[in-house]
């Protein structure tokens, strides 16, 4: 988390606004879910509160009105409908813009002020008018008179008791202690405020820029402990805060603790889950406890620390201990997992170091083999296994679920379907599928193009669907799964499907193919990825300009992936994207061709076959061999990469690979075995090379090329089936099979 409190506020606001958006989208299907409404209210309330602390008046004023509408929802005075959800989504976006401007200290442009006024007007139709400035006057009345004494006192009533001790430098850090008290008054009534001045020095020693005051506050409110603590979020580093709940809350907390699931084990976690303790209070108490141990003080139990510091009532701690004991007796286990947030840059550095370790280990193993030292080789074998485990563990740290990316399209589908006046729902499957963080980040834009095109071109209007006996509600599906060491992402719709004849004729018209060219359905469908290709009858703000699908293909290829299309007229279209799981380190199979070394991704290698004399003769004249009754097309790697003939090839072999359900063979001179490969990307000067996806450094220090299996498999099938070259209007040749 950033040390700058404004940047922290910006980051947390983005997360809260995303939570609000997710809750709003879920409310359409579950309008009576109080948890979703409460989640939205808490998010708006937190943003409003922290905006007030920073004096971001525009954010606070607008969010306050949104909060009032959400309060009416919570109270059952409003009913959820699609119009209200649409309005709240617009407000959500507007708050995000206001927060960005406020944190960046930029003025609100007139266009945004106009939108602000229009949204406020629409919001007020959902709420009763309130007298202006009533809340501000109430706060002034509550905080206007305070009692000044020389010490604090503990108050045990049915009100909250808040002890505040601000550090001396709080004013220098730009924080006004009284502003926090004023804002606290918005959550309830400040029954009594006692100012503590026991730290006040003699007049001659006073510094006008330092703070010497503390406060004891008796507070009457229905707010939760977390909400009260949130008021002081951005001054927590500059104060000591203690929040003791009312005595009346003891029974409530006890009941909540008893109703918790049977997997809660730690006392602190139990108290946090029940609401009796906040996460910050727990962390502070644990730090205090650890410092006591370091200083040599007799170890103090966490529960005793919480009671002694007047953070939690003893009765509530006892209830948590009883819950802990009960769970241990039932399950015989203790402890729960904890999460640790790590900067992604640090993770990238770790992956790079692991890659260098893999290269160094390969070099050491090569030298040990030359020495023919058996004990050394056994030791290095153990080290190799450990390096593999370190590599796999490091790569797993980069793996994230694709579900978060998929869920972002809920809002896209909702907004675009309303814009197109179509009823479309999104169905998500395989959200738990994991792949490399970098791949997830870069696949979002191509998916956006595909989703919008499917909604605009693929799914028909309600009238057209009804005319073909379809449901008036269209279905868009996002699906992902693992297959042969790759991840497959599918974007499917149940629309009208692709019209083969329209695509073919448009391609002829644009000069992409020659009239009369014989193409399969798949070859025709792939034409939609050609630059400038579009069959839209009219241009809209969504599509029709011929820009998008070619960008999709380029972006996917940049990730070493492929894209394919399958369509059935009248039933729908599926676009399949196949991507590597990781862009960093892979297991490879090392082969020699001529004087050069090449690496084939191991997860695509199915088997290796040493060629007989008869088969070697066959490979010299034909483009396929008989593999146990199956026709296997192949490529000679020496011809593909124009390697010089090294003489006799008595031990030639075929490496059988499989990609996307298609098999092919690569004829090589020598099989060198498995090899851990650190992928080094090629520079821009090599970006147009076909059949190569990267390079790696061998243990000997030599460079080996990593083969682009998808590209080579396609070339193999083209060669064996007869190559058809189709004229391209850009004076380039596009090869289809």
Give 513-571 pLDDT, tens digit per residue: 888 888 888 888 888 888 767 655 554 555 543 446 778 888 887 787 888 899 988 89
Q: Does residue 149 carry a pLDDT above 50?
A: no
Domain 585-736 -> CATH class:
mainly beta
- Mean pLDDT computed over 205-234: 84
What pLDDT shows up at residue 559? Answer: 81
Residue 416's pLDDT band, with cuts at 50, 70 and 90, is confident
Distance CA 650, CA 636 (A): 15
Q: Does residue 275 carry a pLDDT above 60?
A: yes
Ranking 22-31, 34-43, 335-344, 368-377 by mean pLDDT, the lowest is 335-344
What pLDDT shows up at residue 95? Answer: 93
What pLDDT shows up at residue 139? Answer: 36
Higher pLDDT, 605 or 3: 605
What pLDDT shows up at residue 254? Answer: 64
Tokens of residue 106, six digits: 């930029």
List the Cα angle 683/686/690 in 5-degree steps: 135
Helix (H) or strand (E) holding 622: none
Share of the chain above pLDDT 70, in %: 80
Helix (H) or strand (E) holding 18: helix 5-27
DSSP track, 223-284: --HHHHHHHTGGGGGGEEEEEE--TTHHHHHHHHHHTS-TT---HHHHHHHHTSS-HHHHHH
What pLDDT shows up at residue 335? Answer: 41
Ranking 295-309, 345-359, 512-526 by mean pLDDT, the lowest is 295-309
**Crossing angle for the helix pair 314-331 and 249-258, to the nearest 10 degrees:** 10
Ranking 28-32, 291-295, 719-723 by mean pLDDT, the lowest is 719-723
What pLDDT shows up at residue 204? Answer: 81
What pLDDT shows up at residue 136? Answer: 41
Higher pLDDT, 525 or 286: 525
Helix (H) or strand (E) holding 495: none
- Mean pLDDT computed over 116-124: 88
pLDDT digits (tens, 9 = 90+) for 593-611: 888 889 888 888 889 888 7
718 backbone φψ class: left, alpha, beta (φ>0; ψ -120 to 50): alpha
484: closest CA among 690, 222, 662? 662
Beta bridge partners of 147: 194
Residue 53's pLDDT band, with cuts at 50, 70 and 90, is confident
Q: Are 151 and 196 in contact (CB under 8 A)?
A: yes
pLDDT digits (tens, 9 = 90+) for 151-166: 443 444 578 888 888 8
**Architecture of the domain spanning 402-580:** 2-Layer Sandwich (3.30)
Domain map (residue ranges) of the chain: 5-130, 136-331, 344-400, 402-580, 585-736
Higher pLDDT, 198 or 333: 198
- Mean pLDDT computed over 202-221: 85
What pLDDT shows up at residue 135? Answer: 41
What pLDDT shows up at residue 298? Answer: 54
Ranking 46-50, 165-169, 286-290 by mean pLDDT, the lowest is 286-290
Q: Does residue 624 carry a pLDDT above 90?
A: no
Judge: domain 5-130, CATH 1.10.10.10: no
What pLDDT shows up at residue 490? Answer: 93
3-state secondary structure 389-413: HHHHHHHHHHEEECHHHHHCHHHHH
pLDDT digits (tens, 9 = 90+) for 696-729: 877 677 788 888 888 888 787 766 654 333 333 3
Residue 137's pLDDT band, with cuts at 50, 70 and 90, is very low
Higher pLDDT, 611 or 91: 91
- Mean pLDDT computed over 44-66: 85
What pLDDT shows up at residue 573? Answer: 92
pLDDT digits (tens, 9 = 90+) for 359-372: 787 778 778 877 87
Q: Does residue 266 carry a pLDDT above 80?
A: no
Residues 6+ apart with CB under 8 A from 58: 98, 101, 102, 108, 116
Residue 252's pLDDT band, with cuts at 50, 70 and 90, is low
What pLDDT shows up at residue 534? Answer: 64
- Mean pLDDT computed over 655-681: 82
Q: Does residue 296 carry a pLDDT above 70?
A: no
Output phi, psi for 658, to 5 deg.
-140, 135
Q: Does residue 48 carry a pLDDT above 60?
A: yes
3-state secondary structure 196-236: ECCCCCCHHHCCCCCCCCEEEEEEECCCCHHHHHHHCHHHH
Q: What is the mean pLDDT of the chain?
A: 77
pLDDT digits (tens, 9 = 90+) for 464-500: 898 888 899 999 999 999 876 678 999 999 999 888 8
* pTM (whole model) above 0.85: no
Distance CA 676, CA 666 (A): 20
What pLDDT shows up at residue 270? Answer: 74
């Amino acid at each position: 988390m950033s040390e700058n409190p404004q940047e922290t506020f910006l980051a947390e606001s983005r997360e809260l606004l995303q939570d609000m958006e997710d809750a709003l989208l879920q409310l359409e299907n579950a309008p009576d879910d109080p948890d979703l409404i409460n989640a939205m209210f808490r998010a708006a309330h937190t943003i409003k509160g922290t905006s007030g602390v920073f004096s971001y008046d525009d954010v606070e004023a607008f969010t306050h009105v949104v909060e009032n509408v959400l309060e009416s929802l919570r109270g059952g005075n409003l009913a959820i409908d699609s119009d209200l959800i649409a309005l709240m989504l617009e407000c959500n976006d507007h708050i995000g813009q206001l927060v960005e401007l406020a944190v960046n200290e930029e003025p609100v442009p007139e266009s945004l002020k106009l939108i602000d006024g229009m949204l406020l007007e629409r919001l007020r139709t959902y709420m009763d008018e309130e007298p202006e400035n009533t809340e501000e006057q109430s706060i002034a009345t509550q905080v206007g008179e305070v009692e000044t004494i020389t010490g604090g006192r503990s108050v045990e009533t049915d009100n909250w008791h808040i002890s505040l001790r601000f550090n001396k430098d709080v004013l220098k850090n730009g924080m006004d202690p009284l502003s926090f008290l004023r804002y606290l008054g918005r959550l309830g009534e400040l029954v009594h405020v006692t100012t503590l001045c026991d730290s006040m020095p003699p007049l001659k020693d006073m510094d006008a820029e330092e703070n010497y005051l503390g406060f004891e506050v008796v507070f009457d409110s229905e707010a939760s402990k977390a909400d009260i603590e949130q008021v002081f979020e951005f001054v927590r580093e500059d104060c000591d805060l203690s929040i003791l709940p009312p005595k009346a809350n003891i029974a409530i907390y006890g009941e909540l603790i008893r109703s918790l699931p049977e997997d809660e084990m730690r006392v602190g976690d139990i108290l946090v889950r029940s609401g009796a303790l906040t996460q910050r209070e727990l962390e502070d108490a644990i730090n205090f406890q650890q410092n006591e141990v370091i200083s040599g003080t007799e170890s103090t139990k966490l529960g005793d620390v919480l009671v002694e510091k007047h953070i939690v009532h003893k009765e509530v701690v006892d209830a948590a201990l009883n819950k802990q004991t009960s769970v241990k007796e039932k399950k015989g286990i203790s402890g729960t997992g904890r999460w640790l947030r790590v900067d992604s840059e640090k993770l990238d550095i770790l992956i790079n170091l692991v890659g260098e370790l893999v290269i160094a280990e390969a070099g050491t193993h090569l030298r040990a083999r030359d020495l023919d030292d058996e004990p050394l080789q056994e030791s290095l074998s153990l080290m190799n296994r450990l390096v593999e485990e370190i590599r796999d563990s490091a790569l797993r740290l980069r793996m994230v679920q694709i579900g978060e990316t998929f869920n972002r399209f809920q809002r896209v589908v909702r907004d675009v379907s309303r814009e197109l006046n179509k009823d479309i729902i999104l169905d998500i499957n395989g959200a738990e599928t994991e792949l490399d963080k970098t791949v997830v980040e870069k696949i979002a834009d191509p998916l956006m193009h595909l989703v919008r095109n499917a909604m605009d071109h693929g799914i028909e209007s309600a009238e057209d669907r009804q005319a073909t006996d379809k449901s008036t509600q269209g279905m868009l599906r996002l699906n992902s799964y693992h297959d042969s060491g790759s991840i497959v992402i599918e974007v499917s719709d149940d629309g009208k499907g692709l019209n083969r004849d329209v695509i073919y004729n448009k391609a002829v018209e644009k000069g992409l193919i020659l009239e009369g060219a014989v193409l399969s359905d798949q070859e025709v469908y792939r034409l939609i990825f050609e630059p400038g290709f579009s069959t839209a009858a009219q241009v809209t703000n969504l599509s029709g300009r011929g820009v998008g699908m070619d960008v999709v293909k380029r972006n996917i290829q940049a990730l070493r992936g492929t894209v394919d299309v399958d369509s059935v007229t009248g039933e729908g279209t599926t676009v399949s994207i196949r991507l590597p799981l990781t862009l960093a380190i892979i297991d490879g199979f090392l082969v020699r061709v001529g004087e050069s070394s090449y690496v084939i991704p191991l997860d695509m290698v199915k088997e290796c076959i040493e060629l007989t004399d008869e088969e070697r003769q066959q490979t010299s004249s034909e483009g396929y061999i008989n593999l146990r009754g199956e026709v296997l097309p192949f490529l000679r790697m020496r011809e593909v990469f124009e390697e010089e003939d090294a003489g006799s090839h008595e031990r030639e072999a075929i490496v059988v690979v499989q990609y996307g359900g298609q098999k092919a063979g690569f004829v090589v001179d020598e099989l060198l075995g498995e090899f851990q490969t650190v992928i080094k990307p090629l520079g821009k000067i090599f970006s147009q090379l076909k059949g190569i996806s990267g390079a790696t450094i061998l243990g000997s220090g030599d460079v080996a090329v990593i083969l682009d299996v998808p590209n080579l498999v396609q070339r193999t099938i083209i060669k064996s089936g007869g190559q058809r070259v189709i004229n391209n209007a850009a004076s380039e040749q596009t090869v289809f099979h």
